[in-house]
Structure 1
């Protein structure tokens, strides 16, 4: 059995400004960098030795990963956030209520099923090919949410609410199946 730690990046400038951030990028804020160090401390405190690491090609995910571990890692395009098309970098109030479904296809973005298939297939391929036992994947909020949704039928742990910055989703991977074991939300009160 392998353990996959799927993690969202730290807070970014666009998060702070409440802007839609999919394939567009913005840098980590100082708080975002501190959040990543708190996530790093989670692995250290729990004596979890990571064998390998992957990140979305977005700068915010790579920068977060580099603060969490010193491991060499691979940047993977398939781990990028949902493509929101022409609504990229616009204000979040333009988002429709959840679920988004096919809303963003009208703006040149991805539909929900297309997006979920992309990230589901990417993470499955990484888990199958990697020989490590503990694998870190740093990606994005919608990636994490859609991956949980894809595997909710195998999991006893239920996600409630948003996936916060630097949240870690701990999955077991065995026989090409994922099971959500734990949702690790950090206490950031000490750094705010």
Structure 2
């Protein structure tokens, strides 16, 4: 029997490229004032949870976010470990282009009239279209041959998640682990672990996906939970 590990997997705060509506995979940009503020709220909202370890990707926006979270969580003793495996999906030639262009191209390839129609079906569990098909289409359309397919991202992210889970599940005490990563990579990592049935919209900046690990198995409890941010916002306003 292994010890239960609870993962709190958060998306980074809003960035300049997010604000400009640009594709942001391996390309990077700093948090906006709003992005830093929501990370602050998340830190306060998680303040009653003691983390045994903390991880982020190797991109600046996750570093900035997790440092703000831990600063306002008041648990500065936790060392942040960088994991390249938690990097966002690479979108190849679409990097830093308008996001609408990429989604429009994917929609047309999949015979949708608009990106809005495509996204509507992606978030409908009754439909057969998922992020897996969309990612693989973007990989096909990428003129540079650099874009990652679904399987590549799922494999690297789940490998890192399992390594951490096995490490943290040793011993007799239950553990809580904080991970700050990226919207698409989180969805790809958790889709086939049970996340697909829980996603009804894009993961908001600083939203949390809660995942349990016990006896070698993962269970996705929630996806895109903004309640920790709202809780932190109230706590900070009360001070």
Normalised TM-score (structure 2): 0.72
What is the match of residue 136 of structure 1? 178
Superposed CA deviations along residues 61-112 of structure 1, whole A, max 9, x for unmatched, are 0110001112211111000000111111111012224531312333221011
Distance 1:110 1:72 in 2: 30
Aligned residues: 187
Out of 66, 76, 84, which is 2:83 matched to? 76
Q: Helix, strand or coil: the match of 1:138?
A: strand
Correspondence 1:37-186 to 2 at 5 A? 37-44=40-47, 47-69=48-70, 70=76, 71-95=78-102, 96-97=106-107, 99=131, 100-106=134-140, 107=142, 108-130=146-168, 133-152=175-194, 158-183=198-223, 184-185=225-226, 186=229
Superposed CA deviations along residues 96-136 of structure 1, whole A, max 9, x for unmatched, are 24531312333221011211121111211122123570100
Consecutive unaligned residues of structure 1, counting only runs of 5 or more, are none
Distance 1:15 1:125, change over 3 A: same
CA-atom RMSD in angstroms: 2.2
Distance 1:33 1:165 in 2: 10
Q: Residue 56 of structure 2 contacts residue 66 of structure 2 at CA under 8 Å; is this kept in 1? A: yes
* Structure possessing the higher radius of gyration over alpha carbons: 2
Q: Residue 120 of structure 1 contacts residue 150 of structure 1 at CA under 8 Å; is this kept in 2? A: no
Q: Residue 12 of structure 1 contacts residue 29 of structure 1 at CA under 8 Å; is this kept in 2? A: yes
Distance 1:37 1:137 in 2: 15
What is the match of residue 13 of structure 2? 10
Range that drifts further, 29-38 or 111-120: 111-120
Q: Residue 157 of structure 1 contacts residue 181 of structure 1 at CA under 8 Å; is this kept in 2? A: no
Consecutive unaligned residues of structure 2, counting only runs of 5 or more, are 71-75, 108-121, 123-130
Distance 1:88 1:178 in 2: 32
Q: Residue 89 of structure 2 contacts residue 153 of structure 2 at CA under 8 Å; is this kept in 1? A: yes
